[in-house]
Amino acid sequence: MEKNKYKDLVARHTPREPRLYHGMIAFLTGGMMGVIGQFLIDVYSYYFHISTSNASVFMIITLVFAGCLLTALGFFDKWVSFARAGLIIPITGFAHAMMSAALEYRKEGLVTGIGANMFKLAGSVIIFGVVSAYIVGFIRLIVLGG
């Protein structure tokens, strides 16, 4: 059988991914993460009598802790397989990436295992985030002035 015919046959019989469904699920779960984050900001600012900017720091700490805890307990992977980008894009995805690497290499010790491998995936995210923020800030400086 020719390669092109084989590719066509495989393409016809490969089940299609329901992209619209997955997009809607990611949109809804990402929106729920936003609602949960805003709820935490409101709760922290109301009960602890702090500004919303300070409450947002506590919200981020809470979501990172929850992401790490759920990853360590084994729940987060199951939820990510359902929600996909809705849970990976927010800060919980960053916590999941760090905690997964830490759990994977914990047998090799604190320094050579966890310390050396914790930022494997998250480190590249941090680098590209910092570099893109620098570039956008530089463009803003040029366009809008100091």
**Structural domain boundaries of the chain?**
17-104
Q: What residues contact residue 118 under an 8 Å CB cut-off, 6+ apart?
A: 98, 101, 102, 105
**Distance from C-alpha of 79 to C-alpha of 44, rounded to nearest angstrom:** 26
User: What digits encode the pLDDT tens for the residues 73-126?
Assistant: 999 989 988 898 888 888 888 889 889 888 888 888 888 888 888 888 778 888
pLDDT band at 135 (very low <50, low <70, confident <90, very high): very high
pLDDT band at 5 (very low <50, low <70, confident <90, very high): confident
Sole residue written with tokens 């100091």: 146
pLDDT band at 1 (very low <50, low <70, confident <90, very high): low
The amino acid at residue 103 is: L
Q: What residues contact residue 105 under an 8 Å CB cut-off, 6+ apart?
A: 113, 114, 116, 117, 118
The yes-or-no verdict on residue 59 having pLDDT over 70 is yes
Contact assessment for residue 140 and residue 125, using Cβ atoms and an 8 Å cutoff: no
Residue 90, both tokens: 């927010």
Residue 81, both tokens: 């397989």
Nearest to 33 by CA among 70, 73, 72: 70
Please give the model's pTM, rounded to 2 decimal places.
0.77
